[in-house]
Amino acid sequence: MPTISRRRFLSISAAAGVLGSVPLAAWATPAKHPLQSWTGVAMGAAASITLSHPNADSILNRARSELDRLENIFSLYRPHSALFRLNSTGRVDTPPFELLECLGMCGLIHQASNGLFDPTIQPIWQLYAESYANGHAPAPALIKQVLNQTGWHRISITSNQISFTQSGMAITLNGVAQGYIADRIATLLRGAGLTNVLINTGEFSAIGGHPDDKPWAVAINTGSQIKKDAVMLRDNALATSLPNGTFFDQDGLIGHILNPRTGLPAKSRRDSISVTAPKAALADGLTTAMCLMNDLECEMLLKQFPSARLV
């Protein structure tokens, strides 16, 4: 059953422009040109890349190719992706560097959140999705049983192999991969000399600011309202989680964020949680964990990452 994006309500409030396409050759900082953008889909979320450059079309084409390559690593549903193979067979040999790096970030946030961020929640997520698709809630005994197929400590990660130590396991990187992909695209373009770029893969990463010398302005739409004050980004990243953005049930009562300790849905009172950080992957993972935390726990989590800020 397809995973539903948690970021479908994010929207960008930046100067309008025609969406276009990126080579990677020697790109000196250009004179001002009209904003151009590419829009599409990445990891199930609306995506865009906006920049000002005389070679915008070729630059954007290169970035689109990189997005596709990364989705072939992180997609839950592309049958040849590294993540799909890991979940299908319980192991992947000679894993891509990007998967290893992303899992390293997962481990960091898992530890900092006392286990509330846990990508191994996927079997529980699948149980809820399948149960409600059949018109009923999962039985408590079945939730307890499937919880035995989860646990970050049950993943073995080396440079040569990633494997599960328990049968029936699977992981989802939906709580971090969109941010990680934004970071990788930013690294690609920054390394090629690009400045003044806004990348949106469901999470945002800004290289520099807007070409008019102002920061990029990003508005957050929670689904019920658009927050009045835009978040201003310059060489920074922004991620947002919507605890009540998607529901398993028809009545809109059972949210999609599940507690890995209990297997039960989050009891969040927040419409949205947004965090800025130097890396979108970090911001992404933190907002996911914070969906399961009270205000004091959120504060304690952020203290471990001084560069991150709650918006």
C-beta separation of 237 from 205 below 8 A: yes
Evaluate whether residue 17 is within a structural domain: no
104-119, pLDDT tens digit by residue? 999 999 999 999 999 9
Evaluate whether residue 25 is within a structural domain: no
Cα gap 255→249, rounded to integer Å: 8
What is the per-residue pLDDT for 124?
96
Entry field: residues in the chain: 311
Evaluate whether residue 16 is within a structural domain: no
Domain ranges, residue 113: 36-310
The residues near 67 (Cβ < 8 Å, ≥ 6 apart) are 40, 42, 47, 181, 185, 201
Evaluate whether residue 164 is within a structural domain: yes
Evaluate whether residue 10 is within a structural domain: no
How many distinct structural domains can be found in the chain? 1
Evaluate whether residue 24 is within a structural domain: no
Per-residue pLDDT of the chain in tens (311 residues, 90 and over written 9): 333 333 433 333 333 232 232 333 333 344 467 899 999 998 888 899 999 998 999 999 999 999 999 999 999 999 999 999 999 999 999 999 999 999 999 999 999 999 999 999 999 999 999 999 999 999 999 999 999 999 999 999 999 999 999 999 999 999 999 999 999 999 999 998 999 999 999 999 999 999 999 999 998 876 665 565 789 999 999 999 988 778 888 888 888 889 999 999 988 667 889 999 999 999 999 999 999 999 999 999 999 999 999 98
First to last CA, the chain: 33
62-100, pLDDT tens digit by residue? 999 999 999 999 999 999 999 999 999 999 999 999 999
What is the per-residue pLDDT for 244?
76
Evaluate whether residue 20 is within a structural domain: no
Q: What is the CATH number of the domain that holds 148?
A: 3.10.520.10
Evaluate whether residue 2 is within a structural domain: no
